[in-house]
A and B are shown apart, each in its own frame.
Chain A
Amino acid sequence: MQPEEMPSPQASTPPAAPLRLRAWNTINRSGIAVVFVVLFVLLSATVPDFLTTRNIQGLLLSVTLIGSIAVTMMLVLALGEVDLSVASIVAFAGVVAATVITQSHSMLLGVVAGVLAGGAVGLVNGVLVARFKINSLIATLAMMEAVRGLAYLTSNGDAVMISEESFFALGSGAFLGISYPIWSTIAGFVVFGFLLNKTVFGKHVLAVGGNSEAALLAGLPVMRIKIMVFVLQGLVTGFAGVMLASRMSLGDPKTSVGLELGVISACVLGGVSLTGGVATISGVLIGVLIMGAVQNVMSLMNVPTFYQYLIRGGILLLAVLFDQYRRSRRRV
């Protein structure tokens, strides 16, 4: 046992630790962040064109879809649940938005309709899981299929083209040189980071995921908390779907297949516990950025697609192995 790693629960006021100890604690606490920094420096030094404003912009834009959904997936995982239906919600919300805009010529109506469509799916997920006690893996697996079907039905099987000019600005416009999807993703991290760390609701989510029995006996409205989280996930994912439709200028029922795994991977990379109760917003941010950086570099270096799958899987395994190693050392 290394004395530096001992937690000091007895100390009534944490004494000022020596610098070396504090540095080690920081590394320990932020294990995956270290991985990211090393990775980023390594890539900047070795991969030509990686560290350019244009490429970094492109990298950030490429992670907006996963990133914007990861913030609420984080809450779902923190509850000890999972949501596999997000990819289908993205497609469904996009199609709904496109259809409503085409019919009504109102951008606002379309955006609202898309977001609410996502929220409605989230509500059903939440009620199935919280009220009817269906395992969230199964409930959202079923919803993943059903909602994909709804997306096809709404669009009659084809992509819905959008002709409303103002709608494209949503996905392609920029403010201070940074495009709106990146802004909205940043906003998502700020809002949900605040929600998780600073609000009563965030603490309640962690409590339900950490020990649902304790939460129930402490008088928390466990069922309502769970439903709320799924609804939030649906609304945010619906918005992500609308943004995607705006960028592609069409609502595509076939889009984003397999996205849920990318989102969950990013969260796990960021240290979110699949058994619930543990989540940090900074971890999720880094998880998303690692995913984006690796993907970006593989494109820059023209790595063949088949190898890209292999590398993505390998990186995820390495990251969680590292995390496990770090945690087991700390516990000894």
Chain B
Amino acid sequence: MTTANAAIQQATRAYLELNGVTVSFPGVRALDGVSLQVRAGEVHGLMGENGAGKSTLLKVLSGVNHPQAGTLRLDGVTQHFPNTRAAIDAGIAIIYQELHLVPELTVAENLMLGQLPHRFGVVDRRALIRRAMDELKRLGEHIDPRTPVKHLSIGQRQMIEIGKALMRDARVIAFDEPTSSLSARETEHLFRIIKALRNDGRAIIYVTHRMEEVDVLCDRVTVFRDGKHIETFDSVADLDRHRLIAAMVGRPIADIYGYRPRPAGDVLLEAKGLMGPGLAEPASFTARRGEIVGFFGLVGAGRSELLKLIYGATRASAGHVELAGKRMNFASPRDAVHAGIALCPEDRKQEGIVAVASVADNLNLSARRHFCRAGFLLDAKRERELAQEYIRKLAIKTRNGDTAIGTLSGGNQQKVILSRWLAERIEVFLMDEPTRGIDVGARAEIYHLLYELAETGRSVLIVSSDLAEVIGVADRIIVMREGRIVGNLPKAEASPGELIKMALPR
């Protein structure tokens, strides 16, 4: 069969070829002589910690960043991309982690943005709708092309992004951690589509942090570290995980969770029949001193909503929280903080930090009320000392306390947020997806800090969609499904299969 022969030929030759690509910004070499070959008809995994250069590589492919050295070849032809248009025209599409759709425009308009069909500048609506419908049918999505994108779920939006790439007949499609906010079912659907694209002979680059995804999806894996190409693993079938992690981190890490058991004390936090938006029935549970309680469930199961109820960020319609046996009634997060409960939110950039402010200012944001003079004058010396103390204690990687927190890595930002609450004498830590977007090395440090919190008699509640993380870190796991608590298991009884079975919608 000639098509099979052609497929084999294609599979052995690199379709996309990067050679010695270097990208420098003032003070940083983001990519340092990187080479990468991606074949047509393969899914090529790209792994590495944050700052390894994966994003920069994608920006080179999309024409946003311009390499100072090196070549980029497509199907053997050297390419230069002066702008994004050129990269699109050459047949490269990037599907970013933060989706780039225009919420107010319709599905059809988003699908064809940049190439709207028109006659003398006037949009040809009929052609627009027809072509969008064809594309949606091809993707197996039942969406009215006239729907504004703002009404779609995250999973549907992702399909629209893929549709955009296909409408331009992109031969190279790069995915940047596409599953980070998808449900299990949406992820499965996405993987089916990606495999179909691969079988269609397209070259796929798949950036991810998750080992499991590499196992089920990728044909080959390349690891970057500090802007350099470290290693390309040619077969995923017999891939040694420890070697892969060692390549990413630069040192072997046997078990990133490093779980340490500890005795639990008295009940510190108790939710009694707590009810509010996002929950389907009243929720009750307890957390003891020295205990780390994990909350597992799918996106939308009501876990984050439950944390917000405890924290007073949303008003409970029934039930209440008891702290060390005392009935609490929080009208706002401020009350909760004063009582000794703190939330480290899921979306650090939006809800956790003031990105342009310094590390010291972010760290002192709450605790400064204890030591400001005359109730309103800043005590600059004290604030500086406090910042230095925690930068040292938690090994926060920053030049000094005056550095803008936005320039720090995710892991270090999370440490600053933790420091903010440590300085506040907080007893109960509510952590919503504490390691999202944080790389392997820094994650291990965060877990270590959580154990220390528990060992000093505090309670930690962790909401996580990462099954391995919940099982690896928590002493007890509460499973939520569709706004209900459906399981409460000690660590010893929590198997991945059992947890997923409980979490899946009936």
Contacts and interface: CB of A to CB of B under 8 A. Distances in A.
User: Are A and B associated in one complex?
Assistant: yes
Interface of A: 7-14, 198-203, 206-207, 210-211, 213-221, 277-278
A302 B451 CA distance: 74
Contacts of B105: 203, 206-207, 210
A211 B101 contact: yes
B411 to A, nearest CB: 25
A10 B101 CA distance: 18
Given A9-B144, A14-B144, A211-B102, A216 B121 contact: no
Interface residues of B, number: 32
B116 A203 contact: yes
B103 interface: yes
B104 A278 contact: yes
A219 B114 contact: yes
A207 B123 CA distance: 14
A9 B84 CA distance: 31
A218 B144 contact: no
A200 B123 contact: yes
A217 B101 contact: no
Given A200-B118, A218-B113, A218-B164, A9 B147 contact: yes
A221 B114 CA distance: 9
A198 B156 CA distance: 26
A198 B164 contact: no
A240 B130 CA distance: 41
B444 interface: no
Contact of B100 (A211, A221, A277): A211
B109 to A, nearest CB: 6
B94 interface: yes
Given A9-B152, A12-B142, A199 B113 contact: no
B121 A217 contact: no
B155 to A, nearest CB: 12
A215 B83 CA distance: 13
B247 interface: no
Nearest to A197: B123
Nearest to B137: A12
B120 to A, nearest CB: 9
Contacts of A8: 144
A13 B129 CA distance: 12
Contacts of B102: 206-207, 210-211, 214-215, 277
Interface string B62-88: 101000000000000000000111001
A278 B83 CA distance: 27
B108 to A, nearest CB: 10
A258 B497 CA distance: 67
Contact of B85 (A200, A201, A219): A219
Contacts of A218: 84, 88, 100, 113-114, 164
Contacts of A13: 144
Could you say which of A7, A210, A219 has the most chain B C-beta atoms within 10 Å of its C-beta? A219
Nearest to A195: B121
Contacts of A7: 147, 151
Nearest to B120: A199
B492 interface: no
17 contacts: A8-B144, A9-B147, A9-B152, A199-B123, A200-B121, A203-B116, A203-B123, A207-B113, A211-B102, A213-B100, A214-B100, A214-B102, A217-B96, A218-B114, A219-B85, A219-B88, A219-B114
A197 B109 CA distance: 12
Contacts of A202: 123
A210 B103 contact: yes
Interface string B113-148: 110101001110000000000000000001110110
Given A7-B151, A11-B144, A198-B123, A277 B118 contact: no
A217 B100 contact: yes
Contact of A10 (B88, B89, B143): B143
Contacts of A278: 104
